[in-house]
């Protein structure tokens, strides 16, 4: 029973390029979350998606960042025109639902380095 | 707004000691509190989940308690081992923002032989 799968594990991009991060949730989970961990900082929420819907994107920068969770396939976090400040670890989590007793499971993360 | 604070930020102890890690949160309207472990360069491993209606949860040498009304949780680690060395993260949700978790900065634990 595979957990949350993220790829790639490491990604290097030059300034101005696009970064695409993929996340496949635990089988049977329809709720996906993306978090960002900057060096020496805690994890910060970015976006919460269900299949084909963005539920809460209040933590995601308004420009250059977008996320989707299509009916088929993994969730994608896309960062356009990357800058050095985007260098961070990006974690995806999934859950079966929300509310009491709902456990979130995290992937291994994608470490983005912008050079 | 939900803010999560973890004390201490770092802890270094000899093997065999019993440890207490502390977590506090400002908004008590939560559904769940979750403790995670993060090893350097790795993802998060869920250790314990406590629902708001529960007072504590146990798994092996780990015991987590929750006092929702005062906004506090403690993670107790018995008979610590070098393999317990990692960063321990506390996270809570919030009733008004379903699903998302609010994290503390973590306690970096080192257990030396």
Could you read off the pLDDT of B11-49 as tens digits, one per residue?
Answer: 999 999 999 999 999 999 998 999 999 999 899 999 999
pLDDT value, residue A6: 97
Q: Which residues contact A6 (CB under 8 A, 6 or more apart)?
A: A21, A22, A23, A24, A90, A91, A92, A107, A108, A109, A110, B43
Could you read off the pLDDT of A83-110 as tens digits, one per residue?
Answer: 999 999 999 999 988 887 889 999 999 9
**Which B residues 4-43 touch A at CB under 8 Å?**
31-32, 34, 36, 41-43
Asked whether the beta carbons of residue B44 and residue A41 sit closer than 8 angstroms, the reply is no
Whether B48 contacts B75, CB under 8 Å: yes
Task: Say yes or no to pLDDT of B97 above 80.
Answer: no
Nearest CA in chain A to B101: A45
Nearest CA in chain B to A59: B100
Nearest CA in chain A to B91: A43
pLDDT-derived band at A82 (thresholds 50, 70, 90) equals very high
How far is it, in rounded angstroms, from Cα B46 to Cα B39?
12
How far is it, in rounded angstroms, from Cα B30 to Cα B94?
5
- Interface A-B, measured as beta-carbon pairs within 8 A, has a size of 74
CA distance B39 to chain A (A): 10
Could you read off the pLDDT of B99-112 as tens digits, one per residue?
Answer: 899 999 999 999 99
Task: Say yes or no to pLDDT of A30 above 70.
Answer: yes
pLDDT value, residue B41: 87
**φ, ψ dihedrals at B97, nearest 5°:** -130, 80
Task: Say yes or no to pLDDT of B88 above 70.
Answer: yes
Span A46-73, mean pLDDT? 94
Could you read off the pLDDT of A4-29 as tens digits, one per residue?
Answer: 999 999 999 999 999 999 999 999 99
Whether A69 contacts A52, CB under 8 Å: yes
Task: Say yes or no to pLDDT of B84 above 90.
Answer: yes
pLDDT value, residue A46: 97
Could you read off the pLDDT of B41-70 as tens digits, one per residue?
Answer: 899 999 999 999 999 999 999 999 999 999
How far is it, in rounded angstroms, from Cα B39 to Cα B28?
29
Task: Say yes or no to pLDDT of A1 above 70.
Answer: no
CA distance A16 to chain B (A): 26
Residues from chain A that touch B41, judged by Cβ atoms under 8 A, are 111
């Amino acid at each position: 029973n595979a957990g949350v799968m993220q790829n790639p594990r490491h990604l290097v991009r030059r300034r101005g390029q696009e970064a695409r991060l993929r996340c496949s949730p635990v089988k049977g989970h329809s709720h996906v979350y993306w978090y960002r961990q900057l060096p020496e900082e805690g994890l910060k929420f970015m976006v919460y998606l269900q299949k084909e819907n963005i539920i809460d994107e209040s933590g995601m920068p308004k420009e250059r960042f977008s996320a989707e969770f299509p009916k088929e396939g993994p969730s994608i976090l896309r960062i356009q025109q990357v800058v050095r400040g985007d260098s961070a670890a990006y974690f995806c989590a999934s859950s079966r639902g929300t509310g009491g007793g709902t456990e979130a499971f995290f992937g291994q993360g994608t470490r983005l380095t912008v050079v | 707004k939900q803010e999560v604070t973890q004390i201490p930020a770092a802890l270094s102890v000899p093997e065999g000691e019993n440890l207490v890690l502390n977590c506090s949160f400002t908004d008590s309207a939560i559904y769940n509190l979750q403790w995670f472990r993060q090893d350097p360069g790795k993802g998060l491993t869920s250790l314990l989940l406590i629902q708001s209606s529960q007072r504590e949860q146990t798994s092996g040498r780990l015991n987590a308690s929750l006092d929702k009304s005062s906004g506090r949780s403690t993670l107790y680690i018995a008979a610590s081992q070098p393999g317990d060395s990692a960063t321990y993260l506390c996270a809570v949700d919030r009733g008004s923002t379903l699903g998302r978790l609010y994290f503390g900065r973590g306690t970096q634990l080192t257990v030396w032989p």
